[in-house]
Chains A and B, each alone.
Chain A
Amino acid sequence: GQQLNQSPQSMFIQEGEDVSMNCTSSSIFNTWLWYKQDPGEGPVLLIALYKAGELTSNGRLTAQFGITRKDSFLNISASIPSDVGIYFCAGRENYGQNFVFGPGTRLSVLP
């Protein structure tokens, strides 16, 4: 079945630094989603991407739908302590299908 890989698995960065993470699939997807999970909470949808090459921003967050349609990227600029959490990607091959979730990237921000 579909498998999603997220890289890196975890990362420690200094406050103010930019962050990049990615998600790759073994299949071609038509939708990519990025979520953030704060400790003790449910994941919250950050950005949804529906078209290859699409670049969408949400505040300091920018996500891109890879042109191969097998990957997606999330960037966070000028990180702050509240960016700490787990970032999950999710994707699907067709609109009628359920989303497959990646294992998450755990972000820690050092003051």
Chain B
Amino acid sequence: GAVVSQHPSWVICKSGTSVKIECRSLDFQATTMFWYRQFPKQSLMLMATSNEGSKATYEQGVEKDKFLINHASLTLSTLTVTSAHPEDSSFYICSARQGSTPQYFGPGTRLTVL
């Protein structure tokens, strides 16, 4: 149980375009979802936390207009990287939990912006 999926697993886009990444909890209701960013050989960097039906809470230094997060249902959250630039290239990982359970992570999405 506690499976989280992400789609796509990798994406390449041109600079200036927007990219949407989906995160789904497959066998539980995710009351809270988290989005992380990870650079090569670096730790997890929390970008934002979202509760279903509420606006996301962004960490300091993360531009909310750049990284749009929508947690519209108990099984789906989306991260849209708007007007992507090469410096946005990274590994994006979502995580979800139901109530006070541990967080379960998705497999990650590798974004490359040309």
Q: Please report A residues at the B interface, Cβ cutoff 8 Å.
A: 31, 33, 35, 40-45, 48, 86, 88, 90, 95-96, 98-99, 101-104, 106
Contact = CB atoms under 8 A, between A and B. Distances in A.
Interface of B: 2, 4, 6, 32, 34, 41, 43-44, 46, 49, 91, 93, 95, 100, 102-108, 110
B100 A95 contact: yes
Contacts of A45: 2, 102-105
Contacts of B106: 42
A23 to B, nearest CB: 13
Contacts of B44: 43, 88, 101, 104
A33 B107 contact: no
Contacts of A101: 43-44, 46
Nearest to A99: B103
Given A101-B43, A104-B43, A41 B100 contact: no
Nearest to A6: B43
Nearest to B91: A40
Across the A-B interface, give the 9 residue pairs with the lowest CB-CB distance, nearest first. Answer: A42-B105, A95-B100, A103-B43, A42-B108, A43-B105, A42-B107, A42-B93, A104-B43, A42-B106
B56 to A, nearest CB: 13
12 contacts: A40-B108, A41-B108, A42-B6, A42-B93, A42-B106, A43-B44, A88-B43, A95-B100, A98-B34, A99-B102, A104-B44, A106-B41
A35 B95 CA distance: 12
A43 B107 CA distance: 8
A48 to B, nearest CB: 5
Nearest to B2: A45
